[in-house]
Amino acid sequence: MPILVPEPHDEICFREDGKRLDGRAVDELRPFSCEVGVIKNAQGSALVRHGGNLIYAAIYGPREVHPRHLARPDKGILRVYYRMATFSVHERKSPAPNRRENEISKVIREALEPVLFLEAYPDSQIEIYIEVIAADGGTRCASTTAASLALADAGIPMKSMVVGVAAGKAQGRVLLDLGDKEDKVGQADIPCVVVMKDKSISLLQFDGEMSLEEMKTGFEYVLKGAEIIYQKQLEALREKYNKITREAEIEDSAVGNLPQNEQKSINESQNAQDSLQNTSQIDEQMKVQNEKQEINNDHKAEPSPLMENSSAINESQKEVEKGEVEEKSKDEKSSEENIIKSSEQSANSTDDSPKQGENQSSQEEQQLNTENDSPSGDDQE
């Protein structure tokens, strides 16, 4: 496939006046601008223009982890998806993710994790989607800057903002913020991510050859450029909320500056709308109550088979209970009669016992009398 715009591959990176090909000094950044809130469907978003780079970053989450087996009970997880558009480079790129994109996604994730409070989001995930629309060298650093800005726009707590910027070496000179050609034909490249609160390094990669003095100079350039980008990030965040404040003030002033007649008509229309809403709500409530009452009346007039069955069951239960009560009362009466009869029999038995004793004593007296009356042997003689 022919290349429409051929890439330069010569090693010349400086002009005759000693400046770089784009007119910058060795310690000067490319033009940088950024803004937030550019994607409405995301929790937070940012657009970064860094030289010829045009990069979008969008934040989604914290939200549920899919698949669930990847969730961690002690902390949340951060996922980064770095992708380059097929038209972002000179030669058409395959839309499928390649090894370089997976590596940069991992690098950006590891650079952002130290400044996030992921332990505040257990069993959750925060997803960062980065899309490179145009690439012009240093996309991993610019993407990290955009991701940090989008996280701040989403309101996710962070220990500090982070800034990505690179230093390098080309034609024997240390440079700040390498462009596309300088990155490809230079002798060294040092991508860095700086934590702006304490100026610590969250990401450091090195490719090429540099002396210790050159590396020291490169780090000085990195800190200088990071401070400039950090101020641009703060301005973008302030501008968003200043814009919201200005819009609110304009609305308030527009309402306050209305003529009295218009203001009065607006108030009257609002009151009329409120009254209509109230009457409609009352009518709906009355309809609902009437429907409920009709339903209750229908149920009372036409009892359901369930109600009839329940009433029949209740009546049968009452008859059974009534029969049980009558049987109990009969048993109690019969038991009382038996008790009375037994008591009478015992009383009769006690009355007959003294009569029998009297009869026995009378019989004994009669025997004694007969013995006394009979003559003895002496008297007969």
229-260 confidence digits (pLDDT tens) = 999 999 999 999 898 888 888 888 877 665 66
With bands split at pLDDT 50, 70 and 90, how would you rate the model's confidence at 376?
very low
Mean pLDDT calculated for residue range 84-91 = 91
What are the φ and ψ backbone dihedral angles of 280, each rounded to 5 degrees?
-65, -40
Q: How far apart are CA 114 and CA 203, in angstroms?
A: 10
- Looking at residue 287, its pLDDT comes to 79
Q: How far apart are CA 306 and CA 117, in angstroms?
A: 61
Under a CB-based contact definition with an 8 Å cutoff, are residues 30 and 50 in contact? yes
DSSP, residue by residue, 216-238: HHHHHHHHHHHHHHHHHHHHHHH
In the predicted structure, residue 207 carries a pLDDT above the cut 70: yes
Could you tell me the residue ranges of all domains in the chain? 32-250
Mean pLDDT calculated for residue range 207-225 = 94
Q: How far apart are CA 329 and CA 344, in angstroms?
A: 23
CA 183 to chain centre: 44
21-34 tens-digit pLDDT: 889 999 999 999 99
- Looking at residue 104, its pLDDT comes to 96
- Looking at residue 7, its pLDDT comes to 60
Tell me how crowded residue 111 is: count the other CB atoms within 10 A of its CB: 27
Out of 123-127, 138-142, 172-176, 269-273, least confident range: 269-273
With bands split at pLDDT 50, 70 and 90, how would you rate the model's confidence at 214?
very high
43-53 tens-digit pLDDT: 999 999 999 99
- Looking at residue 106, its pLDDT comes to 96
103-146 tens-digit pLDDT: 999 999 999 999 999 999 999 999 999 999 999 989 999 999 99
Classify 308 as helix, strand or coil.
Answer: helix
- Looking at residue 377, its pLDDT comes to 44
Tokens of 363: 């019989």
Under a CB-based contact definition with an 8 Å cutoff, are residues 258 and 60 in contact? no
Q: What pTM was computed for the model?
A: 0.65
Q: Which amino acid is at 192?
A: C
In the predicted structure, residue 371 carries a pLDDT above the cut 80: no
Classify residue 250 by its DSSP letter. Answer: H
C-alpha dist (Å) from residue 179 to 31, 91, 199, 253, 372: 11, 18, 24, 48, 169
- Looking at residue 343, its pLDDT comes to 66
- Looking at residue 243, its pLDDT comes to 87
- Looking at residue 11, its pLDDT comes to 77
Classify residue 148 by its DSSP letter. Answer: H
Specify the higher pLDDT residue, 228 or 376. Answer: 228
With bands split at pLDDT 50, 70 and 90, how would you rate the model's confidence at 314?
low
Class of domain 32-250 as given by CATH = alpha beta
Considering 103-117, 256-270, 365-379, the range whose residues carry the highest mean pLDDT is 103-117
- Looking at residue 12, its pLDDT comes to 84
Closest CA to 104 of 57, 151, 143, 50: 143
With bands split at pLDDT 50, 70 and 90, how would you rate the model's confidence at 306?
very low
Mean pLDDT of the chain: 82
- Looking at residue 13, its pLDDT comes to 83
